[in-house]
Amino acid sequence: MESLVNRTKFRLLLILVFGTLSLIGLFIYSLTVGSYNIGWYDAISAFFSAVSNGGETTTTEERIVYLVRFPRFLAAVGVGIGLAIAGVIMQAVVRNPLVDPYITGVSSGASFGAVSFMMLGFMSGTMAVYALPISAFIGAVAAFFITIGVSEASGGRPITFVLSGVIVGFAFSSLTNILVVENPDQLKGVLFWMFGSLTAPDLTQCAILLFVVAIIGAIVLLYARELNVILLGEEQGSQLGVNVRKVKLLMMVLSSIVTAVCVAFTGVIAFLGLIVPHMARMLVGGDHRLLLPASIIIGANFLLATDILCRFIGDLPIGAIVSLIGAPFFGYLLIRRGKEYSN
Amino acid sequence: MRCINGLLRPQRGTITIDGKNIEKMKIKDVAKICANVPADCNEDFNLTVQELIFLGRYPHVDGMWWESKRDEGIVLEAIKQFKLEHLVDRRLNELSSGEKERALLAKAIVQKPKVLLADEPSAHLDLRYKLEVMENLKEMASQGVTVITASHDMNLTSKFCDRVVMLSEGRIIAAGKPSEVITEERIREIYNVEVSIFKDGDEIFAIPRRSIR
């Protein structure tokens, strides 16, 4: 028999090569798509001339490519990877493939944290760029722990987790709505939080986003084998020598941070963290050493491709489009699993 | 059993394996000498048989991410021993309960334990798989692994086990050879059931008669 480990390594390599190639293709394409018409050759040369000038833009093309479409690409990649990682982690930690940052109420909590921060009026000042994700993080952690608390108190089964996430999500969304209605003068500034949009972050914010996503992604990848063990449950995991509680706590905090940062800059993009790990699982199976890289690659490609699609159909908010794709997908999963339960 | 693999602390006394106190060992070091076979396991995550068995090597893998050639050799050996060759790429939720039990046994054996704990390994299996599991456990015991199982099945226990410890409400009632421990009187006392016990050499057969109110 050929080496099983080498076979796994080869599959990982395939995923990385093809995923990166397709991401490069989509990147170039994404620079050309939008209301202002730029050919792909002009787009690339405008991009490189802006980069070689250290970010100084002179022509309209350069401004559009470097200051509008490039950050949008970075945001799509960052959020696509970030929410995919958060989804994989949450699914492993609660041992339930039906959860993601949105289902568990974490996105709504982060969104509430971010909106209340803005409403309190600290939006100006140099620290705002850091304080915004931090307040989103506080909301995210609060939401996650309330969800877990309610779920555990009601039996800790997969379905109770989903339901308590829905409860917490609704509660935080309502609070956000009240805040928004009470401060109508700031409505425009926060509207995108509720829809989810990749147009808001500038290059600095994208850099923060990518920095956080890269660090957390690296940590999570180091824990890939522990995540595999966690799938077997607390007792089996401990029995294999993993401190399951400690790893779970670390993973919950990491997934909350990465969700919070994504939500802080681009708003709520529902279901992404659910769809992407499932696609990856269909392709490569359950081993996190393959599943995590595959989810990262698919997450980046998927959100970027969806964003390009959004621009074609008149710049619709991406959160709505992803939800439109995600809702039937989630329904399909429920139906399939529901059938499995009744067997 | 949970005390033996370090998940719980005994209220009194100490547990030692090879003269080493379990409580004073790191959880990962306990995992190197003590494995268990769960009665069931989560199958929601598309884990394949091969991936499950590799997980058993977890405490021994020194590398950061990948198993070594040696780990792989041990896994392949276990796959052969439990006749799982044709199932390595199958997902756990596609297996029959007997196949799954074999995969879980393989996962435990690649852990290379000195002590193997099996909590009611045959409880939900049909007759053939019940025997198969016990035969596999017996084979491990003959390879030098101490196998400890918990069971309510007196017949299987007496057929396969060298020593039996009978427990009732947390206390040891009797310990020794199966034919000495399992008697009609004790069963009546502990289970409130009348049984007839027949002996055939060292083997015994317990036939339940009726429950006593």
By Cβ distance, the residue of A222, A241, A286 closest to B45 is A286
Q: Are B87 and B118 part of one and the same domain?
A: yes
Q: Does the residue B140 lie in any domain?
A: yes
By Cβ distance, the residue of A5, A239, A281 closest to B36 is A239
Q: Are B99 and B204 part of one and the same domain?
A: no
Residue A225 and residue B61: Cβ atoms within 8 Å?
Answer: yes
Amino acid present at A146: I
Beta bridge partners of B20: B17
Spell out the residues 6+ positions from residue B8 whose beta carbon is closer than 8 angstroms to its own: B2
Identify the domain boundary among B121, B151, B181: B151
Residue B36 — pLDDT band, cuts 50, 70, 90? confident
pLDDT > 70 in chain A, percent: 94
Amino acid present at A233: G
What are the pLDDT digits (tens) for A130-176?
Answer: 787 888 888 988 998 898 889 889 877 767 878 888 999 999 999 98
Question: How many Cα atoms are found within 13 Å in the side-chain-facing hemisphere of A334?
Answer: 9
Q: Does the residue B156 lie in any domain?
A: no
Q: DSSP E strands: which ranges in B70-191? A: 115-119, 146-150, 164-168, 171-176
Q: Are B132 and B207 part of one and the same domain?
A: no
Residue B28 and residue A241: Cβ atoms within 8 Å?
Answer: yes
Residue A239 and residue B66: Cβ atoms within 8 Å?
Answer: no
Residue B58 and residue A240: Cβ atoms within 8 Å?
Answer: yes
Q: Does the residue B69 lie in any domain?
A: yes
Interface test with B, best of A9, A161, A227, A231 (most B CBs within 10 A): A231
Distance from CA of A207 to the nearest CA of B (A): 29
Q: Does the residue B190 lie in any domain?
A: yes
Question: How many Cα atoms are found within 13 Å in the side-chain-facing hemisphere of A108?
Answer: 24
Identify the domain containing residue B203 by its residue range: 162-213
Q: Please state, rounded to an integer, the average pLDDT across all residues of chain B.
A: 84
Residue A295 — pLDDT band, cuts 50, 70, 90? very high
Question: In the structure encoding, which two tokens stand for residue A240, read together?
Answer: 């294999």
- Count of structural domains, chain B: 2
List Cα–Cα distances, A155 to A161, A225, A281, in angstroms.
9, 28, 27
Q: Are B87 and B170 part of one and the same domain?
A: no
Interface test with A, best of B9, B22, B26, B58 (most A CBs within 10 A): B58
Q: Are B40 and B140 part of one and the same domain?
A: yes
Q: Does the residue B171 lie in any domain?
A: yes
Q: Are B78 and B145 part of one and the same domain?
A: yes
Mean pLDDT of A234-262: 87
Residue B50 and residue A222: Cβ atoms within 8 Å?
Answer: no
Look at residue A233 and give its three-state secondary structure: coil
Q: Which pLDDT value is given to residue A124?
A: 57
Q: Does the residue B157 lie in any domain?
A: no
Q: Are B209 and B132 part of one and the same domain?
A: no
Find the residue in A nearest to B38 (Cα): A236
Identify the domain boundary among B127, B151, B175: B151
Low-confidence winner among B3-17, B137-151, B188-202 (lowest mean pLDDT) = B3-17
What are the pLDDT digits (tens) for B115-168?
Answer: 888 887 777 778 888 888 888 888 888 888 999 988 888 888 888 888 989 888
Find the residue in B nearest to A242 (Cα): B28
Mean pLDDT of B191-210: 84
Chain A / chain B CB contacts < 8 angstroms: 97
Write the ipTM: 0.81
Q: Are B44 and B67 part of one and the same domain?
A: yes
Q: Which pLDDT value is given to residue A1?
A: 47
> Which domains does chain A show, CATH number per domain?
71-342 (1.10.3470.10)
What's B102's domain CATH number? Answer: 3.40.50.300
Residue A61 — pLDDT band, cuts 50, 70, 90? confident
Distance from CA of A65 to the nearest CA of B (A): 40
Q: pTM of the prediction?
A: 0.85
Q: Are B21 and B101 part of one and the same domain?
A: yes
Q: Which pLDDT value is given to residue A340?
A: 54
Q: Which pLDDT value is given to residue B171?
A: 85
Residues in chain B with CB shorter than 8 Å from the CB of A277 are: none
Interface test with B, best of A96, A232, A336, A339 (most B CBs within 10 A): A232
Q: Are B56 and B118 part of one and the same domain?
A: yes
Residue B28 and residue A97: Cβ atoms within 8 Å?
Answer: no
Find the residue in B nearest to A283 (Cα): B46
Distance from CA of B5 to the nearest CA of A (A): 7
Find the residue in B nearest to A4 (Cα): B72
Q: Are B173 and B78 part of one and the same domain?
A: no
Whether pLDDT at B101 is above 70: yes
Q: Are B47 and B126 part of one and the same domain?
A: yes
Residue A232 and residue B42: Cβ atoms within 8 Å?
Answer: yes
List Cα–Cα distances, A69 to A29, A74, A210, A245, in angstroms.
10, 9, 16, 43
Residues in chain B with CB shorter than 8 Å from the CB of A7 are: none
List Cα–Cα distances, A165 to A107, A115, A168, A175, A305, in angstroms.
10, 20, 5, 15, 29
